[in-house]
Amino acid sequence: MNISQSSSLGRDAWVRLRANRMAMVSLSLLVAISFVSLFGPLLSSYSYDQQNLDHIFKSPDSTHLFGTDNLGRDLFARTTYGGRISLAVGLLATLVSLIIGVTYGMLSGYAGGRIDSWMMRFVDVLYSLPFIIFVILLMVIFGRNFLLLFLAIGAVEWLTMARITRAQTLHLKNAEFIEAARALGYSHARILFRHLLPNLIGPIIIYSTLTVPAVMLLEAVLSFLGLGVQAPMSSWGSLIKEGAEKMDAAPWLLFFPGSFFCLTLFALNFLGDGLRDALDPKSSKD
C-alpha cells in the first residue's frame, strides 16, 4: 500500500470535513461535552453521590450550577459523571460491535460461496428478532453488570456493521492489490488484516459514528426501564428518568441531563453525515 497516497486521501477528507460547517460545529460540541464530562467531576466541589438533605431541590444558582435533586446531590456533578458513563458505554459497546461485525463480515465476504450465504442467512435471521427483548432479559436475569451491558449492547449492534463490511469486502476481494498479495503467497490472515482491513476503514468509521448514538440511546432506554447503571451511579439515561419523575417540582432535573444527551446525539448524527460526505463523496446524497 502506498503510504503517501493514503495520507493524502485522509487529508483530502479532512479538508472536505473542515468545509462542512455543521460537521465542524458538531465536532466542537462533542469535544466540549467530552471535556466537561471528563473534567467536570474533578472541578466540582461536590461528588456525584454526596447527599445534603438541607439542600434538596435547590434551583440552579452559583453554588449548585445545575441545582440539586431530591437528596440534595449536586446535579452538575451527577450530569458530568453520568456523561462519563454514557460516553464510555457508547464508545466501548461500539468497539465490541465493531470487532464482532467487522471480523464476521470480512470472513463471510472473503470466504464467499456457500459459507458466505449461510453466514449472511444467519444475520438475516438475527435481524428479524426483537433483540431489545433479549437485552432486557439478560439485564434483568444476570443483574446490572457493567461489563454485561457493553457485551449485550455490542452483541445487538454488530449486524449492520457485518453487512456493510461484507459488501465492501466482496467489492474489493478481486481487486488487483489483493490478487498481487495472493500471488506473493501471503497467508489468508495477512491478506485479510494487512491488505483488506486498511481499505475498509472509511465505511467502518462512518458507520461507527452512527452506531455510537444508537448505542447511547439503547443504554438510556435500559436505564430508563431501571435496568442500566445502579444508583447512586448515574448515566444520562438514569438522570433523565429521575428528572422526568420530578419534572413538576424541579424541571432542571430533566432539562440539564436531557440537553446534554440530545445535543450529543445531535452532534454525533451530524458528524456521521459529514464524515460520510468527506470520506465517500460518491455516496453523499444531495
Partner 1 sequence: MTRLIVSRILQAVPTLWVIATLTFFMTRYAPGGPFDAERAIPEEIKVKLERHFGLDQPLLDQYILYLQNLLRGDLGPSFKYPEWEVSELIATAFPVSLTLGVLSLLVALLIGIPAGMIAALRRNSWMDYLPMSLSMAGICLPTFVLGPLLIFALSTKLGVFPPLGWYGPSDWVLPSLTLGLFYAAYIARLTRAGMLETLQQDYVRTARAKGASSWRILSRHAARGGLLPVLTFMGPAFAGLISGSFVIESIFFIPGLGKFFVTAAFNRDYTMVLGTVLFYATLIIILNLLVDLLQAWLDPKSRKEK
In Å, how far are 1, 35, 186, 191, 215 from 183, measured between CA atoms?
Answer: 15, 49, 8, 11, 41
Q: How far apart are the C-alpha atoms of 178 and 236, rounded to whole Å?
A: 45
Cell of 20: 462542512
| Nearer Cβ to partner 1 (95/217) | 217
Dihedral angle over CA of 236, 238, 239, 243, nearest 10: 130
Draw the binding track, 201-240, toward partner 1 (x: CB under 8 A; -: no contact).
----------------x--xx--xx-----------x--x
Q: Which is nearer to partner 1, 10 or 251 (CB)?
A: 251
Q: Is 254 in the site for partner 1 (CB under 8 A)?
A: yes
* 110 to 149: interface string for partner 1, x by CB under 8 A: ---------------x--xxxxxxx-xxx-xxx-------
Residue 73 CA to residue 76 CA, distance in Å, equals: 9
**Segment near partner 1 (CB under 8 A); pick from 64-72, 85-93, 168-176, 258-266:** 258-266
> Taking a C-beta distance cutoff of 8 angstroms, is the pair 56, 72 a contact?
yes
Nearer to partner 1, 106 or 139 (CB): 139
Question: With binding defined as CB under 8 A, does residue 96 bind partner 1?
Answer: no
Instruction: State which residue, 1 or 140, has the beta carbon closest to partner 1.
Output: 140
Q: Rounded to the nearest whole angstrom, what is the least distance from the CB of residue 258 to partner 1 in the complex?
A: 5
The footprint of partner 1 on residues 153-212 (CB under 8 A) is none
Report the distance separating Cα 189 and Cα 173, nearest Å: 13
Exposed/middle/buried for residue 159 (C-beta within 10 Å: 0-12, 13-18, 19+)? buried
Max CA distance (Å), the chain: 76
Residue 107: DSSP 8-state? H
- Total chain residues near partner 1 (CB under 8 A): 36
Assess contact for 78 and 48: CB atoms under 8 A. Answer: yes
Q: Does 67 engage in binding with partner 1 (CB under 8 A)?
A: no
Can you give the binding site for partner 1, defined by CB under 8 A? 125, 128-134, 136-138, 140-142, 217, 220-221, 224-225, 237, 240-241, 243-244, 247-248, 251, 254, 258, 261-262, 265-266, 269, 285-286
